[in-house]
Amino acid sequence: MTIPLLICDDSNMARKQVTKSLPDNWDVDITYATNGVEGLEAIREGKGEMVFLDLTMPEMDGYEVLQHIKKEGHKSVIIVISADIQPEARERVVGDGALDFIKKPINKAKLEEVLRKYGLL
């Protein structure tokens, strides 16, 4: 079944890097968002069953997006992909409902490893 996948990052290059790192033949329907506000909107519209979320973004950052998702009760599976590599950043996002955290820059191997770890592939 096709998975609605949301890629939320303010950088076009980062969005492309994530897209290029997706597993081959993975059946997803990709929506892009360039900040947290757009991302949350897409999740409300059901376009983010799975979400790859950046943290440092204008308008609304990733931490706030996680808070909203929790408050509104969306069942999205969220993987944070961020350059904010402080160990505490990871703890915080996992505490706020993200499944896992991947350090930027992303690549195919890193993403696949995480997806396999949780049986998402």
State the residues that interact with other proteins by CB under 8 A: 10-14, 55-58, 82-86, 88-89, 104-105
**List of E strands, 1-121:** 3-8, 28-33, 50-53, 77-82, 100-103
Give 13 or 109: the residue with its C-beta nearer to other proteins.
Answer: 13
Residue 89 has, within 13 A of its CA and on its CB side, a CA count of 17
CA–CA gap between residue 37 and residue 47 (Å, rounded): 14
Give 21 or 76: the residue with its C-beta nearer to other proteins.
Answer: 21
State the minimum distance, in angstroms, from the CB of residue 33 to other proteins.
15
State the minimum distance, in angstroms, from the CB of residue 12 to other proteins.
5
State the minimum distance, in angstroms, from the CB of residue 85 to other proteins.
5
* DSSP, res 7: E
